[in-house]
């Protein structure tokens, strides 16, 4: 079922080079860097090497977030299917009631005929049969019914049969989706158990190793900040060039021109309505900083990555799909250099993570289990981790 949501992406859709990185945390990235100077082989006491720990935890975090998006898709489908089933059940009840009322009316008609002798006794037995289908099995008597009476019986029997079939199909479909959702929950629980084991391995690092990790983590953050500042300078330069070009065009035509908004990046022009909505979205996003990441959560007290971006844009009056797999198709793809505040930044080849761009190479996102909503460089996991940038529409 999850495969229906994981759409293949062409190489041209990517902002950066192609790779399949995991959603690494700061600690995990540090472990990866540290492992380059560590011996990859297990130690004599059987303790996994830092390289082995990094690889295991790296894979598990990727599995956790991908499983979250699959669970979100299954939950959404189940909710929709349950509503459809409830509606069908109500419809069946209403149609059955109408059919019973029609049968009572026809029965009264038959009884009246029998009392007045206007019809043979077998006609009354025919009209008072246990099931409406008995009427159709006795063709020689159908001519004695008026067209209106016969049509009423025919319509209600047909409607009841069709509705009962729909209810059965919907119920079976719901059961299938519910089973799938349960399977995903079980799978996620298994991943979380493995995450605990991996964290335990990380917790066994010595004080010296932890100090080295802290130093490497600081370097990683500085590098991500440097790349964010570089992107900000690039966007500012492109904006200034666009403003200059716009000013030159105005001087040549003798007409006035309004300079682009400071939040404009790259294109030199901006849809005012988008800028207004983005401002509302970002105000909401900033108010969520510090709230915990919880898989499957859509707020208001906690979020997963796509739950946060959905809530952010909902605050601006824009409805986004629930999962990253669908959100990536809910707008116009732009280059990273042309990213504007409010745009969605997607990560990894399987499009399993998303954040909302706030400008200057920074974003707000719900990073991973155990972390909190925060501002962070879009290069937090390297430039090649960025999949695409989408402007919601």
**Residue 305 designated active-site:** yes
**SS3 annotation, the chain:** CHHHCCCCCCHHHCCCCCCCCCCCCHHHHHHHHHHCCCCCCCCCCCCCCHHHHHHHHHHHHHHHHHHHHHHHHHHHHHHHHHHHHHHHHHHHHHHHHHHHHHHHHHHHHHHHHHHHCCCCHHHHHHHCCCCCHHHHCCHHHHCCCCHHHHHHHHHHHHHHHHHHHHHHHHHHHHHHHHHHHHHHHHHHHHHHHHHHHHHHHHHCCCHHHHHHHHHHHHHHHHHHHHHHHHHHHHHHHHHHHHHHHHHHHHHHHCCCCCCCCCCCCCCCCCCHHHHHHHHHHHHHHHHCCCCEECCCCECCCCECHHHHHHHHHHCCCCCCCCCHHHHCCCEEEECHHHCCCCCEEEECCCCCEEEEEEECCEEEECCCCCCECEEEECCCCCHHHEEEEEEEC
Q: Which of 62, 77, 365, 368 is catalytic?
A: 365
Of the residues 57, 305, 339, 351, which is catalytic?
305
Give me the catalytic one of 6, 353, 368, 391.
Answer: 353
- Examine the residue annotation and report whether 365 is marked as an active-site residue of this protein: yes
In the residue annotation, 387 being an active-site residue is answered as: no
Residue labelled with tokens 């991500």: 224
Catalytically annotated residues: 305, 353, 365
């Amino acid at each position: 079922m999850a495969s229906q949501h994981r759409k293949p992406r062409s190489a041209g859709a990517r902002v950066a080079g192609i790779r399949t990185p995991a959603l690494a945390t700061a600690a995990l990235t540090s472990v990866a860097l540290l492992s380059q100077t560590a011996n990859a082989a297990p130690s004599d006491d059987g303790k996994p090497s830092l390289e082995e720990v990094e690889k295991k935890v790296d894979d598990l975090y990727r599995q956790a977030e991908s499983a979250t998006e699959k669970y979100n898709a299954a939950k959404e489908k189940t909710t929709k299917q349950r509503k459809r089933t409830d509606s069908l059940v109500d419809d069946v009840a209403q149609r059955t009631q109408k059919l019973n009322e029609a049968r009572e009316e026809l029965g009264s008609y038959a009884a009246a005929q029998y009392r007045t002798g206007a019809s043979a006794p077998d006609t009354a037995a025919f009209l008072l049969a246990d099931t409406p289908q008995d009427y159709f099995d006795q063709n020689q008597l159908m001519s004695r019914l008026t067209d209106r009476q016969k049509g009423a019986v025919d319509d209600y029997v047909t409607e009841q049969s069709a509705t009962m079939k729909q209810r059965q199909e919907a119920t079976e479909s719901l059961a299938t989706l519910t089973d799938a959702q349960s399977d995903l929950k079980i799978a996620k629980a298994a991943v979380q158990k493995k995450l605990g084991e991996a964290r335990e391995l990380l917790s066994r690092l010595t004080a010296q190793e932890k100090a080295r990790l802290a130093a490497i983590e600081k370097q990683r953050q500085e590098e991500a900040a440097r790349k964010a500042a570089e992107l900000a300078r690039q966007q500012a330069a492109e904006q200034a060039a666009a403003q200059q070009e716009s000013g030159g065009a105005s001087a040549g035509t003798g007409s006035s021109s309004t300079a682009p908004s400071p939040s404009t990046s790259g294109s030199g022009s901006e849809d005012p309505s988008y800028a207004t909505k983005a401002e509302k979205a970002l105000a909401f996003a900033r108010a969520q900083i510090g709230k915990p990441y919880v898989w499957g959560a859509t707020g208001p007290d906690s979020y997963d990555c796509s739950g946060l971006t959905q809530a952010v844009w909902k605050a601006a009056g824009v409805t986004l799909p629930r999962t990253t797999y669908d959100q990536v198709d809910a707008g116009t793809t732009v280059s990273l250099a042309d990213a504007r505040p409010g745009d969605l930044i997607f990560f990894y080849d399987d499009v399993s993570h998303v954040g909302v761009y706030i400008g200057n190479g920074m974003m707000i996102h719900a990073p991973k289990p155990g972390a909190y909503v925060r501002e962070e460089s879009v290069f937090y996991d390297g430039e090649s981790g960025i999949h695409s940038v989408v402007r919601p529409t």
